[in-house]
A and B are shown apart, each in its own frame.
Chain A
Amino acid sequence: MARTPAELAGANSGAPFEITMDGRPVPALPGQSVAAALWSAGILAWRTTRTTGRPRGAFCGIGQCYDCLATINGEPNRRACLVPARPGDAITTQEGHGHARIGV
């Protein structure tokens, strides 16, 4: 019996590469979404809500709910469940609507 989904599906990708979540290194497999890479590192939340500042992460997994919005390489409001992870991507916790730092 397979112990991990990757073993089950016989994943044989190239070497994992690194992205960062608030500066912390996180491994990602080529072809994984940003959300998938974060899940596999045990990270379930990468956003805080506008009103109550509560943590959120991926919910619907198919791009419908927008709960997984993340700031990716300085750009807020990217749907992490749809965006593929690329080597060196810097994911940062998106606070509120994500525009605080750019003054919009």
Chain B
Amino acid sequence: MPVSASDPYDLAVIGAGSAGLAGAVTAAGLGLSVALLDAAPQTGGQFYRHPARAIGAARPEALHHDWAAFAALRRRLERSDVRHLPGHHVWAVTQEDGEQWAVHAVTGADGTAERSVRVRARTVLLATGAYERQLPFPGWTVPGVVGAGGAQAMLKSGLVLPGKRIVVAGSGPLLLAVASSLAVAGARVPAVIEASGYLGYARHPRALAAHPHKLVEAAVHGAALLRHRVRLCTRSAVTEVHGTERVAAVTVTRLDRDWRPVRGTGRRIDCDALAVGHGLVPQIELATALGCATRRTTDGTLALTLDALQETSVRGLWAAGETGGVGGTQLALAEGELAGLAAAARLHGHPVHEGRLRALRRRRDRMRAFAEAMAVSHAPAAGWTDWLTDDTEVCRCEEVTAGTIRAAVSGLGAHDARTVKLLTRAGMGWCQGRMCGTATACLAAGEGAAEPPAAHRPVEPPAERRPLAVPVPLSALAASPDEPAGGRPDTAPADGD
């Protein structure tokens, strides 16, 4: 325990989801002083998102898988010395004096409290998770079209549904989980529309055989879908949403192997909401701002390059969970623990728990292999841009259409997302390209480029470098030098120490 309030923490963990929680309690258990910062009011991240205590949910586990794992982590956190800082939106991590980090955050439910906080630490664990990858289509801005993960997030935290009859569409294994939780919570789900097939998994029999729990999970979702009479349509996509003030119906079209819509196959499904998503994108801007090395994952997104013990290419900065490539909660738990062990070993100056390290590394490597096999099976193929009309909005914030972007590419010679952004404002709005980055990069690279896109060419990542990870009020920036350092002013005393 540091003796003075001005001492830095041994470890600052950013993100209180599966990876961050596992890292924080592991490190604290080995004697490190730990600060755990998270934007949300409570721990759990997106996977274990749950209602605020005031809602009085007697059975939060009814909307979750493996709630017991989270409940155990939460108990360990409560018994530990970890300083949990909820409602902290981290906008930058900087290095001070070479050996020390400063984590900068603004506070409040949505970061508008205009209080600037700086937490100092000797090491940092980045466990910021992921957000949803979106591919636009005509009508995707109509109210009632929501992210698939978004629908699940609102259900898990607010116990609400976007409609009564909800089509689920996009690609990736998350869709089955979303459809089954919406159906179990009382929505009618006429269909799950998956752009890929599931045959891709068959090409990775070894990865599948090594993960019986994934097969069990699939069986659980499959059974729920059968019970609720949800149809699964593979190699299909929602290519149009009908309705102006809100969703009235969607058109579902068959796709060829390259995700090109097959003409004349469109059929209409009546619904009052659409939950849509095409996988997840690692949220890594805090690390890329520091120059951390990245790698292209099998589905074309960008993830952090990590060493055998989860350290990024920048010494003293670890990462775990989706930041190293999307792989789910089990992988996040293993990686968080590994990072916690590694940070403790570094600070203690000697290796700890050799046996545990080896076991965790083996588990992590197996689960990473499975995640990458799964990702490649659902990676967007280049033909998806054929379902865009010229007046389809691509950038939701700046209302930039596909036609405007195509004109910038074919008429003005923009061949990359950055140039398109400068010429059209796509990606310059509030979300800073988080929603349109993938689509904009695809349009920039795929049209007017020297070489036509190859089938199944992975999509380009969104513009991943953002100097500020979240919006910061100027008043908070101006105030920050006068703010006291984070320190440990009101840490609870340790039990029994």
Seen from chain A, the residues whose Cβ lies within 8 Å of a Cβ on chain B are 1-14, 29-33, 35-37, 39-40, 44-45, 49-52, 54-67, 69, 75, 78-79, 81-84
Contacts and interface: CB of A to CB of B under 8 A. Distances in A.
A63 B110 contact: yes
Interface string B190-233: 00000000000000000000000000000000000000000000
B184 to A, nearest CB: 7
B150 interface: yes
A9 B60 contact: yes
Contact of A2 (B146, B185, B245): B185
Nearest to A80: B110
B151 A60 contact: no
B55 A61 contact: no
13 contacts: A4-B159, A4-B186, A8-B186, A9-B60, A32-B160, A40-B158, A50-B399, A58-B150, A59-B396, A64-B434, A66-B431, A75-B112, A82-B109
Most chain B Cβ neighbours within 10 Å, of A7, A40, A54, A78: A54
Nearest to B430: A66
Interface stretch (B45-53, B96-104, B262-270): B45-53
Rank and list the top 6 A-B pairs by shortest CB-CB distance, nearest first. Answer: A36-B158, A31-B52, A61-B150, A10-B58, A31-B54, A66-B430
Contacts of A2: 62, 184-186
Contact of A5 (B110, B161, B163): B161
Interface of A, helix, strand, loop or mixed by DSSP = loop
Interface in B292-316: none
Contacts of A49: 399
Nearest to B184: A8
B160 A59 contact: no
B112 A33 contact: no
Interface string B57-94: 11110110000000000000000000000000000000
Contact of B186 (A5, A12, A31, A32): A5
Given A59-B150, A65-B147, 15 more contacts: A8-B186, A9-B57, A10-B57, A10-B62, A12-B58, A29-B159, A30-B56, A32-B55, A45-B245, A55-B143, A59-B396, A59-B435, A63-B39, A66-B397, A82-B109
Interface of B: 39, 41, 46, 51-60, 62-63, 109-110, 112, 131-132, 141, 143-147, 149-155, 157-163, 184-186, 245-246, 273, 396-399, 429-431, 434-435
Given A2-B186, A11-B57, A30-B55, A60 B435 contact: yes
B160 A11 contact: no
Contacts of B159: 4-6, 8-9, 11, 29, 32, 36, 40
A50 B398 CA distance: 8
B41 to A, nearest CB: 8
Contact of B154 (A31, A81, A83): A81
Contacts of B112: 75, 78
B158 to A, nearest CB: 3
B146 A4 contact: no
Contacts of B149: 60-62
Given A60-B131, A61-B149, A78-B110, A35 B57 contact: no
A59 B336 CA distance: 29
A79 B153 CA distance: 15
A55 to B, nearest CB: 5
B158 A35 contact: yes
B150 A4 contact: no
A64 B396 CA distance: 12
A23 B399 CA distance: 29
Contacts of A13: 54-56
B54 A11 contact: no
Contacts of A7: 186
Contacts of B162: 39, 44
B431 A32 contact: no
Contacts of A5: 63, 155, 159-161, 185-186
Given A54-B141, A65-B431, A84-B52, A10 B59 contact: yes
Given A36-B159, A61-B147, A12 B435 contact: no
A101 B53 CA distance: 36
B479 to A, nearest CB: 19
A45 B150 contact: no
Contacts of B246: 44-45, 55
Contacts of A6: 159
Contact of A51 (B39, B51, B144, B399): B399
